Structure 1
Amino acid sequence: MTTTDPAAPPRPRPTALRATVLRTERLTPAMVRLTLGGPGLAGFAPSPYADSYIKLVLVPGLGATASGSDVLAAWTTPDGRLDLDAARTALPPEHQPRMRTYTVRAYDDMDLTLTVDVVVHGASGVAGPWAAAAVPGDEVAVVGPGGGYSPDLTADHHLLVGDASALPAVAVALERLGASASGTAVLEVADRAEEVTLHVPDGIALRWVHTGDAAPGARLVEAVRALPWPAGRVHAFVHGEAGSVRELRRYLRVDRGLTKTDLSISGYWRLGEADEGWRAGKRAWLRGIEDAEAAVGLD
């Protein structure tokens, strides 16, 4: 059981910064690239990790931008940051701020611009419709960054696996691998129209998998299992839908013997579950996986 040390200092409250949409670009029918900037990002401290991520704070039901300037101004403290506690207190339940996590695709500390790629699914969800409708001048709150993975350049082989939700992080990882890197990237998207141009080193084999009429992640799991296993030490990054991630973790940890040190793996989302519900149950989901691994002698 995990207990909290009463003497430990309280965890700091997340700090939210005001950002302005500078540019939007439709990369594919289901992916929108947003370039955020403005003086509010002057306090942003970039993360060194390839999977660096931020949280966009959106307010459902408050207009097309989901986070209008007037609302943000009401939460702004004298130092230019956002008071999320004040927002939660002031707003009714149907307008409570929602956080959605996105990989930092790029950050330019000279221009103070932050680029994120957002998957959109028509009118469903909170962030997707906002991103699809965003125009220059819209404002949004940004919390973060976090992160924990970068490709280990001393590894013999790199395995990068993900669905559309993990595509931006895999893209950053590929850009950080040297020309001599060896490995495989397996990426699942809906169809050919959703494939994006990536910088892929010569030694990395890129394989696109299309979901088609299969369940999300099913063909991704099949494709990874069908790969010939390379010699040497494998360093892996595997993220996407929780069900497929669980299967791939079992395969990589139990069948292939990867250690936790050489494996960054997590469910970014779960089929049939809203983001808030998934985040609330994710810790128990992970504990169940770790208990199953311990039962077969893995630490």
Structure 2
Amino acid sequence: MATPHGTVVRTERLSDHMVRVVLGGEGLRGWAPNGFTDAYLVLWFPPADAPYAAPFDVESVKAGHPPERWPIHRHYTVRRWDAAAGELTIDFVVHGDEGVAGPWAASAQPGDRVVVSLPGGAYRPDPDADFHLLVGDESALPAIAASLEVLPAGRRATAVLVCDGPADEVPLDCPGDLEVIWCHRVGSAAAADLLLDAVRALEWPAGRVDAFVHGEAGEVRGVRRHLLADRGLDRAQLSASGYWRRTMTDEAWRAVKRDWNADVERDVR
């Protein structure tokens, strides 16, 4: 299979800090979804002075160039795959010139290309659950939005979401009976506890609960501990993962994530 890559078809500013990029083109021929609503893929970005451009074979580039010219990779959630149009939608959190993928998305123009991987993932809402709880920040919003869209009609769901402020809220579609709780950081020193406090305050429903908690690792850990220890959820009812870690670069977080996850598993026995 040729190196999968997408060509920018169009972009859209969804909120103050989120940009949607729709990819298409022949480079996505053979790309296929895996059925998970938290499906993710790897995007590869050449450094500014790279003597190559997408599409490129990552391993060939690494074999032929010094490490400082290797492409930088980032993981992103698949927001939507339109099989009929052959279009792949990815939503990016953008904070000015910060990071690698965000600035690329903010300046992306039709015709730009980016190397992509085939998707991974592990979660899809349990259609038999009585209540769905989805908790996260902007980085988890694409997966949460995709999950809400596949819930059974009329099924009860609550989404607890944190963002910088009202200008970062986005509309969410759901065939179920959805309650959305937005928490705003707005410079609060207690921002790290906003999600946990909101989940603690929820009136807990009867029946089987299916929970999805993703986003900043420290916030996810606190909510996970509460759901397992205080609410009595079984691990099988909960998908929890830290996408990023406050004060760490993506590379630094990946270096310690395995040990962090092992430590998190010891929180509740």
Report the TM range for the smaller structure's normalisation. over 0.9
Q: Which moved more, 1:84-93 or 1:258-267?
A: 84-93
Where do 1:1-299 residues align within 5 Å? 16-62=3-49, 70-73=52-55, 75=56, 83-201=57-175, 203-214=177-188, 216-293=191-268, 298=269
1:202 deviates by 5.1
Q: TM-score, normalised by structure 1?
A: 0.85
Counterpart CA distance in 1 for 2:203 and 2:69 is 50
Q: CA deviation at 1:97?
A: 1.4
Note if contact 1:162-1:186 (Cα within 8 Å) is conserved in structure 2: yes
Which amino acid is 1:72 matched to?
Answer: A
Paired with 1:282 and 1:136, the residues of 2 have a C-alpha distance of 35
Cα–Cα, structure 1 residues 196 and 62, in superposed 2: closer, same or farther, change >3 Å?
Answer: farther
**Contact kept in structure 2, 1:165 and 1:240, CA below 8 Å:** yes
Q: Structure 1 stretch 227-236 or stretch 94-103: which is displaced more?
A: 94-103
Cα distance in 2 between the residues matched to 1:201 and 1:44: 28
SS in 2 for 1:71: coil
Aligned to 2:5, the other structure's residue is in SS state strand
Decide whether the 8 Å contact of 1:15 with 1:144 is kept in 2. Answer: no
The farther-off stretch of 186-195 and 202-211 is 202-211
Contact 1:59–1:96 (CA under 8 A) maintained in structure 2: yes
- Separation in 2, partners of 1:50, 1:158: 14
Cα deviations by residue, 1:100-151 (Å, 9 ceiling, x for unpaired)? 1111111111221100000001011010111111100111000120111111
The one-letter code sitting in structure 2 at the alignment partner of 1:71 is A
Work out the CA distance in 2 between the residues paired with 1:24 and 1:185: 26
Could you tell me which runs of 5 or more consecutive residues in structure 2 were left unpaired when the two chains were aligned. none
The AA in structure 2 aligned to 1:57 is W
How many equivalent residue pairs?
268
The residue type equivalent to 2:53 in the other structure is: V
Identity %: 50
Cα displacement (A) at 1:212: 1.2
The CA distance in 2 between the partners of 1:165 and 1:15, in whole Å, is 29
- For the structure 1 residues 114 and 62, does the alpha-carbon distance in structure 2 shift closer, same or farther, using more than 3 Å as the test? farther
SS of alignment partner, residue 135 of structure 2: strand
- Structure 1: state its 5+ residue gaps: 1-13, 76-82
| TM-score of the superposed pair, with normalisation by structure 2 | 0.94
Instruction: Check conservation: 1:61, 1:94, Cα contact below 8 A.
Output: no
Work out the CA distance in 1 between the residues paired with 2:167 and 2:31: 34
User: 2 CA distance for matches of 1:170 and 1:15?
Assistant: 31
Q: Which residue of the partner structure matches residue 79 of structure 1?
A: none
Note if contact 1:28-1:193 (Cα within 8 Å) is conserved in structure 2: yes
> Would you say the 8 A contact 1:186–1:208 is kept in 2?
yes
Distance 1:208 1:197, change over 3 A: same
Alpha carbons of 1:221 and 1:16: their partners in 2 closer, same or farther (altered >3 Å)? farther
> SS of the residue aligned with 1:89?
helix
Q: Answer with 1 or 2: which has the greater Rg.
A: 1
1:193 maps to amino acid = A
